[in-house]
């Protein structure tokens, strides 16, 4: 691009903006104008730029804006979902919030403009960005947050098409002449199938959702798209059409209420007679309402149709339970973007759909609604935020095995210059973790407490792990954490050990938390994840750390993985995560003698609390998960039953007494036996689960029967009796065994 040699006056800025907007309108695309300089100059230049156009409305994402301007703070950018604007002014002086940037740029319609206000580009990477406060953790200072991400962003801005940069005090750039304007700046013509739809894609999506209700049961539809293709609108339009046809009750679910508000907004537009609140839409004899995913699973609310928006942000186990609980269901999710990591969703959930349903339909919406295809702003945002990051091709890594790979701790200064490695690394995280978002990219590059490990095979990334340094507090701060007076940001393990297990020494020790670990789907199950963590254990063992740990949504599969690496479970949250539907587990692995003592004590405290938690806040914990948590608590010596206890157990086991008068000794035997490793061979799954749901979790007979898929109390009692008999013979002394044999023969 050749510069125009005239001074950077505000009048020239006005002319450049007018030309840029004319080009945008002619193409049906969006454009970006970067105004880089002192803050006051940027604000003045932005106002002058906008004054040269007829763009309306204009939204300012900034801490300060001109009087009477429509302003929104970055933290509230999610409120723009489903809205359209002609222009957005994004003030990077207020903090470059990547999540907000990814959200808000999708609201600009074709022919519109993004104005990005930045410090001088050469100095921007060293700018004390307000976002640093989110990234930094004690004992680091905000000045220690690096500018790697911003350095990369500046490079991408300078290379991007459709982005014009005006720098204070520098020669102005040239702007392409605008082509003749077209009549339309949207996507395809409206679908002939439904006048409310704006593209053929959207019309087909609405038809597919309607067919979920009018066709055979258990034939779900899955809509996928990039942002701005109208999938949420399709859900709302389909809901309105079905309610107009007499459907009575629709439930909408998603990660948060604000994420699904566009569904309600589009339905309301077609149902002007409806009464609307933020979480519901009511007609005289019908309606639709929002419910969180975990609430639906817990309460089993009936519905004629369930709409799941942003399904990629909901863990697959929850989606599977929704699929089982509702016979007519439509899923929709974003393939790229802050709303979800749709590629990982497709990988995980499509397998479930193939197993659980026949004839499910997938439909992808390709055509943009707010702008024309090939939009340069969309391309820039995707590249800058790595929304299109892709893991290595399956064929390139399929032969990777522990003996053929190399593990290294990355130099992040080199990583930020290596776009191929960064894309493959982040692509793996996107595939593996349903809550990966743009903020994670900046944290990965700039967090002073982070270390990044990768495993390579023939130059490609096949696995990665992110480690966060935690702990190491002085006595006064450690005591404050233990007493609940302070909660330092970013120190999950020591804070939880102190606050939940009462371990006052935990915050003083140094540890590293394995925040994320991901293995390429093409080579999972080959021992690569185990090899990666083994390498991390060896490397960190000599770095003054006392222990390693991790926190994750607990499943038997994950606990089994960590157990193979000698990581012990020491905590399970008493509440399920609102979006994950899972209880969070913490596992620890000692690296020093102090760490060994801490892990031992943490495990002991966990087992002190667990029996009481199972009977109260963890009453609904899956019995398979409870059994796995129990089995590592091997009893020391004989079980704590005296002769009277054994007599009571025998009396119930052989039908001489009722359960209620023998419950104490039965509990003692159950707790001790399930902790012993041999219980796995003594008991089948039904028998083990019966002991957990009735004896340990103290569910009612009706609840226990339902959990065990039995007819009622009598069958549960019979299962308990046959379960206790082999335990008596194995764990009882010789006198107990003789008495059992007598009762069995009598």
CA nearest to 72, candidates 107, 36, 30: 107
Which pLDDT belongs to residue 172? 82
Which pLDDT belongs to residue 339? 44
Which pLDDT belongs to residue 183? 37
Q: What is the mean pLDDT of residues 19-28?
A: 94
- Was 236 annotated as part of a binding site? yes
Q: Let me know if domain 394-616 sits in CATH 3.10.450.50.
A: no
Q: What is the pLDDT of residues 86-137, one digit of tens each?
A: 999 999 999 999 999 998 999 999 999 999 999 999 999 999 999 999 999 9
- Was 550 annotated as part of a binding site? no
Provide the edge-to-edge strand list for the sheet that holds 70-72: 70-72, 58-61, 85-91, 108-118, 31-36, 163-167
- Was 524 annotated as part of a binding site? yes
- Was 530 annotated as part of a binding site? yes
Length of the chain equals: 746
- Was 518 annotated as part of a binding site? yes
- Was 110 annotated as part of a binding site? no
Which pLDDT belongs to residue 343? 57
Which pLDDT belongs to residue 77? 83
Q: What is the pLDDT of residues 612-650, one digit of tens each?
A: 999 999 999 999 999 999 876 554 456 889 999 999 999
Q: How confident is the model at residue 263 (pLDDT cuts 50, 70, 90)?
A: very high
- Was 111 annotated as part of a binding site? no
- Was 564 annotated as part of a binding site? yes
Structure tokens at 160: 């991007």
- Was 519 annotated as part of a binding site? yes
For residue 335, the SS3 value is: coil
pLDDT of 655 > 60? The answer is yes
pLDDT of 182 > 70? The answer is no
Q: What is the pLDDT of residues 358-399, one digit of tens each?
A: 889 999 999 999 999 999 999 999 999 998 899 999 999 999
Between helix 419-432 and helix 342-356 the angle, nearest 10°, is 40
Which pLDDT belongs to residue 719? 98
Q: H-type helices in 327-474, by residue range?
A: 342-356, 376-385, 394-397, 412-415, 419-432, 438-446
Enter the CATH code of domain 643-745: 1.20.120.890
Which pLDDT belongs to residue 240? 96
Q: What is the pLDDT of residues 480-497, one digit of tens each?
A: 999 999 999 999 999 999
The average confidence (pLDDT) of the chain is 91
What is the Cα gyration radius of the chain?
Answer: 30
Check for a shared fold between 10-167 and 200-365: yes
Q: How confident is the model at residue 350 (pLDDT cuts 50, 70, 90)?
A: confident
**Largest distance between two CA atoms of the chain:** 108
Structure tokens at 65: 């804006």
Hey, CA dihedral for 729, 734, 740, 741, is it positive or negative?
positive
Which pLDDT belongs to residue 724? 97
Give 511-561 as a DSSP string: EEEEEEEEE-GGGTTSSHHHHHHHHHHHHHTTTT--EEEEEEE--HHHHHH
- Was 102 annotated as part of a binding site? no
Is 10 exposed, middle or buried, given 0-12, 13-18 or 19+ CB atoms closer than 10 A? middle
Helix (H) or strand (E) holding 462: strand 460-471
- Was 480 annotated as part of a binding site? no
Domain boundary assignment for the chain? 10-167, 200-365, 394-616, 643-745
- Was 228 annotated as part of a binding site? yes
pLDDT of 744 > 80? The answer is yes
CA nearest to 544, candidates 521, 519, 512, 513: 512
Which pLDDT belongs to residue 178? 47
d(CA 435, CA 735): 57
Which pLDDT belongs to residue 258? 82
- Was 527 annotated as part of a binding site? yes
Question: Distances in Å between the alpha carbon of 121 and those of 166, 347, 381, 382, 721?
Answer: 10, 39, 18, 20, 75
- Was 237 annotated as part of a binding site? yes
The CB-side HSE value for 493 (13 A sphere, CA atoms) comes to: 33
d(CA 29, CA 114): 11
Q: How confident is the model at residue 677 (pLDDT cuts 50, 70, 90)?
A: confident
Q: Which of 13-17, 254-258, 341-345 has the highest mean pLDDT?
A: 13-17
For residue 4, the SS3 value is: coil
pLDDT of 337 > 60? The answer is no
High-pLDDT (> 70) share of the chain, %: 93
d(CA 721, CA 658): 10
Which CATH number is 200-365's, of 3.40.50.1820, 2.60.40.1730, 1.20.1600.10, 3.40.50.300? 3.40.50.300
The answer to whether 739 and 728 have CB atoms below 8 angstroms apart is no
- Was 250 annotated as part of a binding site? no
Top CATH class of 10-167 equals alpha beta
- Was 556 annotated as part of a binding site? no
Q: Which of 99-103, 339-343, 594-598 has the highest mean pLDDT?
A: 594-598
Give 113-142 as a DSSP string: EEEEEES-TTTGGGS--TTHHHH--TTS-G
Q: How confident is the model at residue 8 (pLDDT cuts 50, 70, 90)?
A: low
- Was 232 annotated as part of a binding site? yes
Q: What are phi and psi of 128, to 5 degrees?
A: -80, 80
- Was 202 annotated as part of a binding site? yes
- DSSP secondary structure code for residue 336 in this structure: S
Q: What are phi and psi of 554, to 5 degrees?
A: -70, 130
Candidate from 126-140, 177-191, 283-297, 724-738 with smallest mean pLDDT: 177-191
- Was 230 annotated as part of a binding site? yes
Question: Distances in Å between the alpha carbon of 439 and those of 32, 149, 433, 435?
Answer: 21, 10, 14, 11
Q: How confident is the model at residue 235 (pLDDT cuts 50, 70, 90)?
A: very high
């Amino acid at each position: 691009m050749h510069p125009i040699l005239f001074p950077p006056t505000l009048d020239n800025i006005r002319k450049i903006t007018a030309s840029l907007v004319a080009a945008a309108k002619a193409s049906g695309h969006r454009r970006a104008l970067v105004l880089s300089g002192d803050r006051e100059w940027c604000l003045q230049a932005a106002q002058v730029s906008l004054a040269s156009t007829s763009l309306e409305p204009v939204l300012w994402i900034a801490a300060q804006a001109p009087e009477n301007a429509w302003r929104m703070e970055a933290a509230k950018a999610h409120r723009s979902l489903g809205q359209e604007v002609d222009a957005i002014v994004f003030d990077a002086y207020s903090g470059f919030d990547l999540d907000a940037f990814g959200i808000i740029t999708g609201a600009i319609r074709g022919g519109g403009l993004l104005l990005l206000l930045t410090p001088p580009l050469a100095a921007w990477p060293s700018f004390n960005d307000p976002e640093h406060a989110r990234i930094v953790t004690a004992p680091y200072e905000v000045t220690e947050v690096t500018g790697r991400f911003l350095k990369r962003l500046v490079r991408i801005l300078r290379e991007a098409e459709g982005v014009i940069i005006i720098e204070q005090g520098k020669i102005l750039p040239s702007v392409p002449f605008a082509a003749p304007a077209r009549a339309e700046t949207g996507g395809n013509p409206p679908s002939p199938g439904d006048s409310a739809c704006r593209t053929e894609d959207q019309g087909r999506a609405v038809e597919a959702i309607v067919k979920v209700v009018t066709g055979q049961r258990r034939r779900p539809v899955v809509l996928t798209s990039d942002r701005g293709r109208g999938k949420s609108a399709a859900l709302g339009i389909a809901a309105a059409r079905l309610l107009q046809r007499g459907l009575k009750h629709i439930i909408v679910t998603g990660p948060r209420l604000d994420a699904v508000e566009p569904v309600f907004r589009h339905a309301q537009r077609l149902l002007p007679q409806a009464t609307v609140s933020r979480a519901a839409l009511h007609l005289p004899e019908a309606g639709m309402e929002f419910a969180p995913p975990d609430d639906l699973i817990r309460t089993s609310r009936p519905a004629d149709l369930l709409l799941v928006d942003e399904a990629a942000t909901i863990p697959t186990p929850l989606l599977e339970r929704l699929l089982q609980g509702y016979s007519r269901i439509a899923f929709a999710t974003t393939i790229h973007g802050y709303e979800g990591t749709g590629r990982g969703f497709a990988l995980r959930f499509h397998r479930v759909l193939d197993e659980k349903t026949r004839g499910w339909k997938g439909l992808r919406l390709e055509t943009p609604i707010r702008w024309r295809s090939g939009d340069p702003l969309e391309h820039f945002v995707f590249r800058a935020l790595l929304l299109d990051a892709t893991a290595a091709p399956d064929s390139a890594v399929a032969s990777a095995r522990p003996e053929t790979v190399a593990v290294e701790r990355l130099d992040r200064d080199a990583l930020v210059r290596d776009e191929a490695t960064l894309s493959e690394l982040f692509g793996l995280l996107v595939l593996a973790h349903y809550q990966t978002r743009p903020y994670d990219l900046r944290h990965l590059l700039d967090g002073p407490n982070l270390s990044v490990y990768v495993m390579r095979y023939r130059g490609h990334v096949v696995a990665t792990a992110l480690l966060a340094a935690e702990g190491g507090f002085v006595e006064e701060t450690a005591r404050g954490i233990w007493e609940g007076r302070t909660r330092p940001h970013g120190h999950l393990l020591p804070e939880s050990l102190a606050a939940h297990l009462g371990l006052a020494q935990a915050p003083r020790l140094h540890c590293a938390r394995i925040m994320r670990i991901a293995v390429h789907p093409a080579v999972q199950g080959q021992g690569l994840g185990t090899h990666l963590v083994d390498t991390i254990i060896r490397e960190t063992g000599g770095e003054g750390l006392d222990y390693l740990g991790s926190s994750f949504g607990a499943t038997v599969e994950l606990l089994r993985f960590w157990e193979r690496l000698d990581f012990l479970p020491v905590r399970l949250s008493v509440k399920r995560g609102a979006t994950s539907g899972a209880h969070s587990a913490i596992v620890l692995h000692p690296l020093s003698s102090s760490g060994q003592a801490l892990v031992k004590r943490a495990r002991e405290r966990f087992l002190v609390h667990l029996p009481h938690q199972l009977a109260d806040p963890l009453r609904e914990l899956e019995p398979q998960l409870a059994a796995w948590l129990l089995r590592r608590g091997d009893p020391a010596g004989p079980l704590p039953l005296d002769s009277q206890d054994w007599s009571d157990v025998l009396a119930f086991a052989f039908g001489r007494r009722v359960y209620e008068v023998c419950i104490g000794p039965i509990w003692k035997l159950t707790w001790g036996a399930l902790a012993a490793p041999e219980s796995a061979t003594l008991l089948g799954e039904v028998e083990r689960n019966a002991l957990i749901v009735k004896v340990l979790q103290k569910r009612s007979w009706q609840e226990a029967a339902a959990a065990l898929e039995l007819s009622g109390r009598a069958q549960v009692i019979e299962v308990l009796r046959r379960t206790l008999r082999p335990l008596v013979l194995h764990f009882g002394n010789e006198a107990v065994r003789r008495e059992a044999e007598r009762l069995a023969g009598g």
